[in-house]
A and B are shown apart, each in its own frame.
Chain A
Amino acid sequence: MEVFTQYLEQFNEIGYVQETISSLVYVSGLPSAHQQEMLIFENGVIGMVGNITQELVEVFVFAAEPLKVGTKVARTNQLFSIPVGEEYLGNVVDPFGKLLDKFNSLTPPKTMRQIDSPPGDISTRKRVNRTFDTGITLVDILITLGKGQRELVIGDRKTGKTNFLFQTLVTQARQGAICIYAAIGKKRLDIKAAETYFKKQNILSQTVIMASTSDDPSSVIYITPYCAMTLAEYFRDQGHDVVLVLDDLYTHAKFYRELSLLGKRFPARNSYPADIFYTHARLLERAGNFISPDGKERAITCLPVAETVQGDMSGYIQTNLMSMTDGHIYFDIDSFTQGRRPAVNPFLSVSRVGRQTQTDLKRSISREVLSFLTLHEHMERFSHFGAEVTPTIRDTLSTGERIQHFFDQKTDVILDSNLQLFLFTILWFGYWNNRPFEQMKKEVEQLVKIYNTDTDFHQKVDQMTTTNKTLNDFMRVVAKNVIPFLDKLFPPLIAPANATPNIQPVNSNTKS
């Protein structure tokens, strides 16, 4: 009440609530109110000016309790701002910076930032040139991403999108990035599951979960991604690379549609408001690769999520988001039902700026694999006719299936970029051609373990991937140096009757 009175005396303008509709309130008075200005009601509730007509001011109210008609409201003459700071790291907060856990408290940071600032102009931006690792082989090799890219994650519900995002966040947090997970209109159980996962992976101290729950007012859900982006910009300006996940913008669009229809805006396509594209575009444009004033590159990599219905990528919101992002990763429900994990369809997925960040070796491998997988897909369709297949086709189908099994990755497994290339080259060489898939997977797991624990092995693998420029060169090195090592490490497929195993123990120096 005291704050309200202070603003009233300072600006000498008052408004009275005339009408309330859910999260929207119509106020008379306030002749100098401007759009997106923060207003304060006499009971302490905060609102934001949405629309201004000749007689009334439309206000988004950020409180669950309804307001009474006649309630007084004062201007603050400030655009809507939220407190931002490093105090949020390791916490689950609402869009206003308050802890979702009501039993604890958090000292609010003193720095305030507007939630709807204009995106950086082209003089502050730099071409995307650093690779963004997700830790998932399929994505890192075939759909390479770059730091500062906006990559849409799209697919039906329950196809593994959130698992993929969590793995990506873990990878990036371990590389030193600040991770912000914006849960937009999610269930409390899902938010808790995210917090538990990040705590288990020991990355919570570098993560902020900014969440609005499904029972929050539509206005609170509407501003969640803007608040998350504002926080991301703060960390970028502090000198960090930031990864921002917006989960999900399709839900955001639905709640904005609800607000617009309540606000009597004329419905456009699918009853969405006419400015739905602008609503998302002005948010996503704030991500990118930037040059800080001290000349260093800092990126906000944004991974917005969009849900499809029965695999329909041609939906209104989905196509909007695809057009305003730098590519999309499509989670195919058919691949999911076939048991592929992650269920990413590399043919329907696109990365528009990721390829320029690839090393020569990765580019060489990526091209080879994609063209082979395309051929494999054609062969698979051909084989459905039931005609007798030639040995060549049979080999192609077998190799393709082996590659698919190789790309299957559990949710708790995160692979280093160099290790991915190393393992794939061994596969491409044909080392596992005659081994069952299960054995191949076990041997891959063992190699991953050795890479993570043996410093010497780790360095050798990194050196090999750095010095070789093409797949063929790398395969020659693998043939000369790696295959003999693997033959010693893993038991032969079929042992002769009188032979004894000739496996020498690996020199296991633990990593510091």
Chain B
Amino acid sequence: MNNITTSISPLLAVIYTREEAEKVQDILSDSLDSLYKVHHNNTLSILLDNLPAHIGEVLKDQIEQKQIDVQTPEAIKKICDSLALALKNTDLLTLSLAFEPSFELTQKIAKLIKTEFGGNTLIEIEVDPHVMGGAIITFKGQYFDYSLKTKIDHFLKSQ
């Protein structure tokens, strides 16, 4: 079980956005549903195949390096449950931008945030044209408005 717990962090480090996290949670849920319907080896291969490639690779590496037991359905269930619980307990940082960023930019921002706030942090991008420029950041209930619209509003009020 300790091996499983320590293998979760590297997995979380490669899950960047909330959308990805929800997709992983759905795959974990489907895998658990099939656990006792097919052979457990098939369940594991279904799980590894359905996960996004970069996440599946990390999971495979962790299983090999940490010698995690995958011989029984119960062992696979433990892996799935631990990962699902870890995903549930992540922090979410919401960015409101005036434009839709590219995949590469999103990943770059996500890596920067994970470096600053820890691997448990996911990001969510909201596109809001009213922002005009800059960003509005919401994290753990804190709200930071660095949008261009607010700056212009303050400028006009001061005049």
Contacts and interface: CB of A to CB of B under 8 A. Distances in A.
Interface of A: 8-9, 12-15, 28-31, 74
A16 to B, nearest CB: 9
B141 A28 contact: yes
B142 interface: yes
A14 B138 contact: yes
Contact of A9 (B140, B141, B142, B145): B145
B150 A9 contact: yes
A31 B150 contact: no
A12 B144 contact: yes
Shortest beta-carbon contacts, A-B, top 10: A29-B141, A14-B143, A31-B141, A12-B143, A30-B141, A13-B141, A14-B138, A13-B143, A8-B143, A12-B142
Contacts of B140: 29, 31
Given A13-B142, A29-B140, A30-B141, 14 more contacts: A8-B143, A8-B145, A12-B142, A12-B143, A12-B145, A13-B143, A14-B141, A14-B142, A14-B143, A15-B141, A29-B141, A31-B140, A31-B142, A74-B143
Contacts of A31: 140-142
Contacts, number: 25
Interface of B: 138, 140-145, 150
Nearest to B144: A12
20 contacts: A8-B143, A9-B145, A9-B150, A12-B142, A12-B143, A12-B144, A12-B145, A13-B141, A13-B142, A13-B143, A14-B138, A14-B141, A14-B142, A29-B138, A29-B140, A30-B141, A31-B140, A31-B141, A31-B142, A74-B143
Contacts of B145: 8-9, 12
A29 B138 CA distance: 9
Nearest to B141: A29
A9 B146 CA distance: 10
Contacts of B143: 8, 12-14, 74
A8 B142 CA distance: 10
Contacts of A15: 141
Nearest to A27: B141
Q: Is the interface of B mostly helix, strand, loop or mixed?
A: strand
B136 to A, nearest CB: 9
Contacts of B138: 14, 29
A84 to B, nearest CB: 31
Contacts of A8: 143, 145
Nearest to A12: B143
Contacts of A12: 142-145
Nearest to B143: A14
Contacts of A9: 145, 150
A501 to B, nearest CB: 88
Contacts of A29: 138, 140-141
A28 B139 CA distance: 11
A13 B144 CA distance: 8
A81 B141 CA distance: 24
A476 to B, nearest CB: 80
A74 B150 CA distance: 17
A12 B141 CA distance: 8
A493 to B, nearest CB: 85
Contacts of B141: 13-15, 28-31
A14 B145 CA distance: 11
Nearest to A30: B141
A302 B142 CA distance: 44
A14 to B, nearest CB: 4
A14 B144 CA distance: 9
A8 B144 CA distance: 9
Contacts of A74: 143
A12 B150 CA distance: 13
A31 to B, nearest CB: 4
A53 to B, nearest CB: 13
Contacts of B150: 9
Nearest to A28: B141
A381 B65 CA distance: 95
Contacts of A30: 141
Nearest to A29: B141
Nearest to B153: A5
B105 to A, nearest CB: 24
A275 to B, nearest CB: 27
Contacts of B144: 12
A28 B138 CA distance: 12
A13 B140 CA distance: 9
B73 to A, nearest CB: 32
A30 B145 CA distance: 16
Nearest to A74: B143
B155 to A, nearest CB: 14
A14 B142 CA distance: 6
A30 B140 CA distance: 8
A30 B139 CA distance: 10
A8 B96 CA distance: 15
A28 B91 CA distance: 12
A13 B141 CA distance: 5
Nearest to A57: B141
A74 B142 CA distance: 10
Residue of A13, A14, A30 contacting most chain B CB atoms (<10 Å): A14
